[in-house]
C-alpha cells in the first residue's frame, strides 16, 4: 500500500524512533510495514525511506541506490535497528529528502560508513558503504533520531528552506 509521506516540519519527523523488538519479526504488521515502505519509495522514485516518514516510529529504513549501488548490482537494503560507525573523513554533498520536496541543500557527510543491522527476517548483517548508499544511510539514520536536512545546515540555508516551503504551501 502506498502511504502518505510526512512533510517536514511535521512533529513526527522530530521524534526518536524505537527499536524493533524480536517478537515483531515475521508478524503481518511488520511484513506489511516493509512492503508499504518499498511501494511508497518506488512510487515517488526515491533512493531511501525511513519508517517514521510514513508515520511509524520504528528504527527501520530502506535503501535502493539502483545503478549507483556500491555493490556490483543494485541491492534492496533493509536496515533494522542499525548502528553506524562513521569514517573520519567528511565531504559536502548535495542532498534531498522525500519529506522536503523540491529542496536540495549541501550537507556534510562522512565519506564512508560501516553498518551493523538486522534484515527483515531478523538476521544480523554488517556492511561497508560509500557513495550514494553511504550518504543515504547517514540521511535515513538521521530520521530515526528525529533529524532532517534543516537540522544539518547553517542558518542561512535553514532560512532558505523555510522560505521555499512557505512559497509552496
Ligand atoms: Ni529524508
**pLDDT single digits (tens) 102-161:** 999 999 999 999 999 999 999 999 999 999 999 999 999 999 999 999 999 999 999 999
pTM of the model: 0.96
Q: Are 57 and 18 in contact (CB under 8 A)?
A: yes
Nearest CA to 62 out of 45, 48, 75, 41 is that of: 48
Compute, in angstroms, the gap from residue 131 CA to the centroid of ligand 1. Answer: 16
The CA distances from residue 21 to 31, 38, 41, 122, 123, in Å, are 13, 21, 24, 10, 13
| pLDDT score, position 118 | 97
Nearest C-alpha neighbor of 35 from the set 4, 6, 1, 79:
1
Contact assessment for residue 137 and residue 112, using Cβ atoms and an 8 Å cutoff: no
Is 80 exceeded by the pLDDT of residue 69?
yes
**Contact residues for 60 (Cβ-Cβ < 8 A; gap 6+):** 17, 20, 33, 34, 37, 50, 51, 78, 79, 80
Q: How far is the CA of 91 from the centre of ligand 1 (A)?
A: 18
Q: What is the pLDDT of residue 86?
A: 97
Residue 169 has pLDDT above 80, yes or no: no
Whole-number Å distance, alpha carbon 105 to ligand 1 midpoint, is 12
Give CA–CA dist 149/61, Å, rounded.
16
Which residues are part of the catalytic machinery? 140
Is the pLDDT reported for residue 43 higher than 80?
A: yes
**How much distance in Å is there from the Cα of 30 to the middle of ligand 1?**
21
For the segment 32-37, the average pLDDT, to the nearest whole number, is 98
DSSP class of residue 101?
T
Indicate left, alpha or beta for 63 from its phi (over 0: left) and psi (-120 to 50: alpha).
beta
Is the separation of the CB atoms in 59 and 20 below 8 Å?
yes
94-102 mean pLDDT: 97
Amino acid at each position: 500500500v502506498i502511504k502518505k509521506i510526512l512533510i517536514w516540519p511535521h512533529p513526527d519527523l522530530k521524534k526518536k524512533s524505537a527499536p524493533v523488538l524480536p517478537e515483531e519479526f515475521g508478524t503481518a504488521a511488520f511484513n506489511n510495514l516493509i512492503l508499504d515502505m518499498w511501494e511508497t519509495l518506488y512510487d515517488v522514485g526515491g533512493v531511501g525511506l525511513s519508517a517514521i516518514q510514513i508515520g511509524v516510529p520504528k528504527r527501520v529504513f530502506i535503501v535502493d541506490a539502483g545503478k549507483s549501488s556500491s555493490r556490483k548490482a543494485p541491492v534492496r537494503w533493509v536496515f533494522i535497528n542499525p548502528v553506524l560507525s562513521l569514517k573520519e573523513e567528511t565531504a559536502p554533498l548535495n542532498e534531498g529528502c522525500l519529506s522536503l520536496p523540491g529542496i536540495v541543500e549541501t550537507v556534510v557527510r562522512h565519506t564512508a560508513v560501516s553498518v551493523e543491522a538486522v534484515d527483515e527476517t531478523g538476521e544480523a548483517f554488517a556492511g561497508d558503504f560509500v557513495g550514494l548508499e553511504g550518504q543515504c544511510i547517514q540521511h535515513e539514520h538521521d530520521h530515526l533520531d528525529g533529524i532532517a536536512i534543516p537540522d544539518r545546515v547553517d542558518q542561512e540555508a535553514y532560512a532558505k528552506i523555510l522560505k521555499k516551503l512557505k512559497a509552496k504551501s
